Chain A
Amino acid sequence: MNTYFIKRFIAMIITLWLIITGTFFLMHSVPGSPFNEERTTNEAIQKNLEAYYHLDEPLIVQYGNYLSALLHLDLGPSIKKSSQTVNEMLGRGFPVSFELGFYTLILAVLSGMTLGIIAALRHNGVVDYLSMSIAVLGISIPNFVMATFLIEQLAVNFPIFPVATWSSPKHMVLPILALATGPMAIIARLTRSSMLEVLTQDYIRTAKAKGLSPVKIVFKHALRNALLPVVTVLGSLAASILTGTFVIEKIFAIPGMGKYFVDSINNRDFPVIMGTTIFYSAILILMLFLVDLAYGVLDPRIKLHKKEAK
């Protein structure tokens, strides 16, 4: 078990390194300096600025510097907001984004699984068709459309919730709802189909032949096996929630990381773009790693398989 996770950990570091390198050279391949598009700077100041940000050094040296700074978890200064470092911006934005993303994930997972299980147990019944119709709708409506719809109905037409910002639990309801609908629908569909498949398995018939009650069969025998495929998509689902926060934060004017990211893209503030990308990727890779760990705990076969595969 340990060798597997050590290998997995090394692979994780390599992936992250590839992303860092890719992002770095991609950003530096953009023609021109980030300073010369603006009219305010004259040539001397531009040179000074480039020297200050080490942009005058050879690319490979810059890359080395960037990597060694990263080892100290230093993402460097922002170019456009001169007094701020990328670390400071992330430090301010991340807790908010994390809150939004975390609650969304929890809501999506819990409601999605519940919906999927009920649909599977009432297969081909009214509840099944109803919840699956809701799920297809949930997948089809983009989160920004959902967000505008929610604002229009629940904040403007019926002012139950505030329109924007992130200052109280009441402010959080609409953004979380808007962001959770899609992932919830995906989880519901996946849980349903996986549950339906598990329910036809031989070991479910064995459990029935033992005289176990339906409740025991579902919760003890079916659910755990049915949730395995659901767990595997949690990583990529977290990714889509993360990117979803960009647009939700923009619509609801939430001061999260996504806002800095979108701003930095529009300002071509490369250190911020780079820092945010790397930070996001690190989180996601960590998520995928955790999902793998969880999978290993849920499925006793995993440990042995991996060892045998070696």
Chain B
Amino acid sequence: MEKILQVKDLRVSFSTYGGEVQAVRGVSFDLHKGETLAIVGESGCGKSVTSQSIMRLIPEPPGRITGGEILFNNIDLIKLKEPELRKIRGANISMIFQDPMTALNPTLTIGEQIMEGIMEHEKISRAEAKKAAVEMLQLVGIPSPEARLKQYPHQFSGGMRQRIVIAMALVCSPDVLIADEPTTALDVTIQAQILELFRDIQKKTGVSIILITHDLGVVAQVADRVAVMYAGKIVEIGSRREIFYRPQHPYTIGLLQSVPRLDIEKAELVPIPGTPPDLFSPPAGCAFAARCKYLMDVCERVYPVQSSLSNYHHVDCWLQDERAKKLVSTLV
């Protein structure tokens, strides 16, 4: 499959009062054409920072990309200058943010906000831009789009606003759409509608989607592949089936066990004890070691070597080492 976006060993730090926080500590993944990749993890695991780094939208300072490559069409976005980045933002890669209530400018009509994106990137007249905006609103399912173009964000409900935000992001038909917790701020019924919309749009436009979420239910509904992030690293990545049915990393297993499931009888909800580590001084070994019930001496000393279980399924865990396997078999 064609790789549209490649992230290689991305590292991002923030300087704060207390020192330097290493929010992202070497993240690598590929995004294929037309697929949906979900990045899941607890809040603070670096998933939002990763996504905003792709767009180069982290506030610098205090943020700083300290290493790695982000290749889009073989161009390294990290090396680009602002004016060149601007040509890519919104046109080739666009982004949807968590809260539709605050993502729209309250003092501009939504028509203006949708049109300005396309008028920035393409040489078209206002009338043509307006036509494109109307088509986009139709695509995302907003009734009587002509009239609604003249309205302000406060005149729409939360779900409607998220549709508008999606329309705004798609108006230049981008190759990649990054959605950062797009349904978290919405009611459950609206969530389902928006996820449905994502699938629909992907079918129609063939856009590749990176979906950032902490909600495994959302992942199960739309993702083709899943990357699990913990403390600034991707600890396990694989297809949706692999992650849901053959999870390898104790953290992934823990995540799945802490979510209610209807398909397994009498499944108990098991919370993961403890809290994520302090990223001011990340541990030398596996960051999950302090919370892991399979903890070994090696976990605290050395970061695990990546093991591949299939072409797509990779995991960073010492339990994959043969010597540990014997142990586990005696343990369980």
Chain A interfacial positions (CB closer than 8 Å to B): 201-203, 205-213, 216, 220-221, 224-225, 298-301, 304
A210 and B152: CB pair below 8 A? no
**Once bound together, how far apart are the Cα atoms of A299 and B94, in whole Å?**
28
Tally of contact residues, B, Cβ under 8 A? 30
Assess whether B192 is interfacial by the CB under 8 Å rule.
no
Assess whether B155 is interfacial by the CB under 8 Å rule.
yes
The prevalent SS among residues of A at the interface is helix
Chain B interfacial positions (CB closer than 8 Å to A): 55, 57, 85-91, 94-95, 97, 99, 102-108, 116-117, 120-121, 152, 154-155, 165, 168-169
Q: Pull 17 A–B residue pairs with CB atoms less than 8 Å apart, ordered by A.
A: A202-B99, A202-B103, A207-B105, A208-B57, A209-B55, A211-B85, A211-B86, A211-B88, A211-B91, A212-B117, A212-B120, A220-B108, A221-B105, A299-B106, A299-B107, A300-B152, A301-B152
Residues of B within 8 A of A301 (CB): 106, 152, 154
**Once bound together, how far apart are the Cα atoms of A203 and B165, in whole Å?**
10
Given A202-B102, A301-B154, A210-B94 contact (CB < 8 Å): yes
In this complex, what residue of A is CB-closest to B169? A209
A206 and B86: CB pair below 8 A? no
Top 3 A-B pairs ranked by shortest CB distance? Answer: A211-B89, A211-B90, A202-B102
Given A220-B116, A224-B107, A209-B152 contact (CB < 8 Å): no
**Once bound together, how far apart are the Cα atoms of A216 and B309, in whole Å?**
49
Residues of A within 8 A of B99 (CB): 202
A300 and B168: CB pair below 8 A? no
Contact of B108 among A205, A210, A221 (CB under 8 A): A221
B89 and A206: CB pair below 8 A? no
Contact of B116 among A202, A212, A298, A304 (CB under 8 A): A212
Contact of B106 among A210, A220, A300 (CB under 8 A): A300
B105 and A209: CB pair below 8 A? no
Given A206-B168, A211-B117, A300-B91 contact (CB < 8 Å): no
Residues of A within 8 A of B97 (CB): 202, 205-206, 209
Given A206-B165, A206-B168, A212-B106 contact (CB < 8 Å): no
